[in-house]
Amino acid sequence: MAKKPDYQRMKPIWYFVGLILVTMGAVINLAGLADLFRAGGGEKVLGSLHANIWWGELMVIVGALFVYFNRKTRPADKAQARTARKKNA
């Protein structure tokens, strides 16, 4: 008989959303920093605010929070998994 997947050990979707936010935020932040230190180019309207640096940092912080809070299964889930294994054994 095929072994059933252990759903208690699976990561929630928000963990992977956090990883994507961290990655994309880092890319946007680095692009903003490169634009900040690059000489030349025309001045943009409100370009002095450097919105890509701020939004990149915000995305990294929010993504890191998502990863932190969804990195493991919760203790209640582990207790339920133990009782489920005892019933199946």
pLDDT digits (tens, 9 = 90+) for 7-40: 667 888 999 999 999 999 999 999 999 988 886 6
Tokens matching residue 27: 């890319």
Amino acid at 27: V
Q: What is the rounded CA–CA span in Å between residue 5 and residue 14?
A: 20
pTM for this entry: 0.71
Q: Picking from 3-7, 17-21, 42-46, 66-70, which range would have the lowest pLDDT averaged per residue?
A: 3-7
Q: Which pLDDT does position 9 carry in this prediction?
A: 73
Q: Name which of 29, 27, 2, 4 is nearest 84 in CA terms.
A: 4
Q: What is the rounded CA–CA span in Å between residue 36 and residue 28?
A: 12
User: Mean of the pLDDT values across residues 78-88?
Assistant: 67
- Band (pLDDT 50/70/90 cuts) for residue 74 is low
